[in-house]
Structure 1
């Protein structure tokens, strides 16, 4: 059994190939994805354990064990840690253990890029990243696989972290700068990606221009909210997984209050990629991708890492 650390996982996940692998998975129906298991852990009720299995791809079965500790930022640690166990589907024999944190950040970014390929306008120029963590850092490389972004702007509550990410993106060859004023940056953006653990809205519908695509990847619990109700009721919504409707705060709250109905949130990324539903339908349309992370993405990414390993 191989043990693949973060560096090995990163080396096996070319963004173009990863977006293509996710496109293939979302367009097909061979992967089985049971409902995830979610449990509060320890004395800190804000800490969460997630178990996410999937199987049916290249003869593999995978299980991700992930934890979410919102207070980790104050310790200089990522809020999400994960380990991924890859098994032979036919026998159950272990094949590899992968760094699930690295796997998660890249498959999340690639899923956002895949959604943007169907939902963002072709002529987008300015991309706003709200958040400066590991997922945000992976977004530009994956978006570059589907759109020609001219400038990336970064806003974070911690201005120092925003500046550090900008410097990192510049060294990677991206035109990037800090957005000191979030609302002004939202008004100027063609695409907005939020990757935070926010529990109150950061992106307000009143500030989002017609034609903007909003990519919401941070919220995966009902009390996590990155965009307000005004935006969600104005946007064409696409979800990556059925449970997003009731676990992402941007949808769970409006659905409970009746400002959104189930028919407003029935379009999945799989429907769009497979051609069963339209993506963007008008240039002035506001679109929103609500991503809570489906286990099919993890399995596709892990399988890609395994296939990229040099033969011995």
Structure 2
């Protein structure tokens, strides 16, 4: 029977520091990872397919987006990850895809901030209170030991306070923000994990030296930051091909000439290999735009499922 790793097992197998190191290696020497494909199963339902492979393993993530799934006891977005042996093509393990995704997404953002943010950041703002938000807080806290204040903001004040209290109860220095504009202006790092279709963060709020992390938008119709924010920033992406196809925060201002392709310094792999210097001064505003990359899934799955891909398996 094919071994299956539950959400709890996946989270336990991916400690933040080890995951960040694994992701660094994957970005520096990336596996084959074609741009994900999306298939419309109906007017509302979508199937996403994200494959990647290296000399050791093949990984495939299947993601379903079914808005009516809740009526049948499911989740609007669900995911499964299948890990196969590269030499034989044989299935080795099935992993909980949601746990894998939130873990690797948060770790990638925190890792990118180590390369792009100003040294020794002390204040983080997380915009959004959905499923990814608490993992973003935990990943940044683990990878940025100089952080002293972490603030969360959401449209619903009660939900925001509940999230802040939950994280504070777990020993994290978290509080709830009441003014988004003030919180953005005070932050060294602003991380957005929303599903917004209109900009939430305005460029006029950003002070010099801020690092802006845009995570939530994954279609051309979604925006988390306005044109002013994007035009002020030196931009790095997780995947050039995917970002220029799917990231509304970039495709929209590119389409109307607010920014040119030259505004995108490169991808995270190039930064980590030392080929691109994203931050050139303490005054630079930097921006990391991620839409999700299959290389992150494969790297995390290999770390979580190491026992199933040993030579003796």
If the length of structure 1 is used for normalisation, what is the TM-score? 0.92
Match of 2:36 in 1: 36
Instruction: Name the CA shift for 1:282/1:137 in 2 (closer, same or farther; >3 Å).
Output: same
Are 2:122 and 1:125 equivalent residues in the alignment? yes
Q: CA deviation at 1:122?
A: 1.5
Per-residue CA deviation, residues 210-259 of structure 1 (Å, 9 max, x unaligned), is: 10000001011000110011110110000001211221110010111112
Aligned-partner Cα distance in 2 for 1:74–1:165: 26
Provide the secondary structure at the position in 2 that maps to 1:144: helix
Contact 2:16–2:143 (CA<8 Å) still a contact in 1?
A: no
Aligned-partner Cα distance in 2 for 1:74–1:201: 31
If the length of structure 2 is used for normalisation, what is the TM-score? 0.92
Deviates further, 245-254 or 65-74: 65-74
Match of 2:62 in 1: 65
**Uncovered stretches (5+) of structure 1, i.e. residues with no partner:** none
**Uncovered stretches (5+) of structure 2, i.e. residues with no partner:** none
Are 2:60 and 1:83 equivalent residues in the alignment? no
Instruction: Name the CA shift for 1:42/1:288 in 2 (closer, same or farther; >3 Å).
Output: same
Residue from 45, 49, 52 that aligns with 2:50: 52
Instruction: Name the CA shift for 1:218/1:308 in 2 (closer, same or farther; >3 Å).
Output: farther
Instruction: Name the CA shift for 1:114/1:78 in 2 (closer, same or farther; >3 Å).
Output: farther
Deviates further, 163-172 or 76-85: 76-85
Aligned-partner Cα distance in 1 for 2:192–2:69: 19
Residue from 227, 233, 253 that aligns with 2:225: 227
Contact 1:19–1:142 (CA<8 Å) still a contact in 2?
A: no
Are 2:189 and 1:191 equivalent residues in the alignment? yes
Aligned-partner Cα distance in 2 for 1:235–1:140: 23
Aligned-partner Cα distance in 1 for 2:192–2:41: 26
Structure 1 residues 144-183: aligned runs within 5 Å? 144-147=141-144, 148-183=146-181
Per-residue CA deviation, residues 37-71 of structure 1 (Å, 9 max, x unaligned), is: 01233232xx43211000005x1100111134578
Q: CA deviation at 1:14?
A: 0.3
Provide the secondary structure at the position in 2 that maps to 1:272: helix
Aligned-partner Cα distance in 1 for 2:286–2:263: 12
Q: CA deviation at 1:72?
A: 8.0
Let me know the Cα RMSD of the aligned residues: 2.2
Structure 1 residues 104-123: aligned runs within 5 Å? 104-123=101-120
Per-residue CA deviation, residues 98-143 of structure 1 (Å, 9 max, x unaligned), is: 1000100010000001100001111311111101122111112221
Are 2:216 and 1:215 equivalent residues in the alignment? no
Instruction: Name the CA shift for 1:19/1:215 in 2 (closer, same or farther; >3 Å).
Output: same
Q: How many residues align?
A: 307
Provide the secondary structure at the position in 1 that maps to 2:253: helix
Aligned-partner Cα distance in 1 for 2:137–2:71: 26
Match of 1:19 in 2: 20
Provide the secondary structure at the position in 1 that maps to 2:54: strand
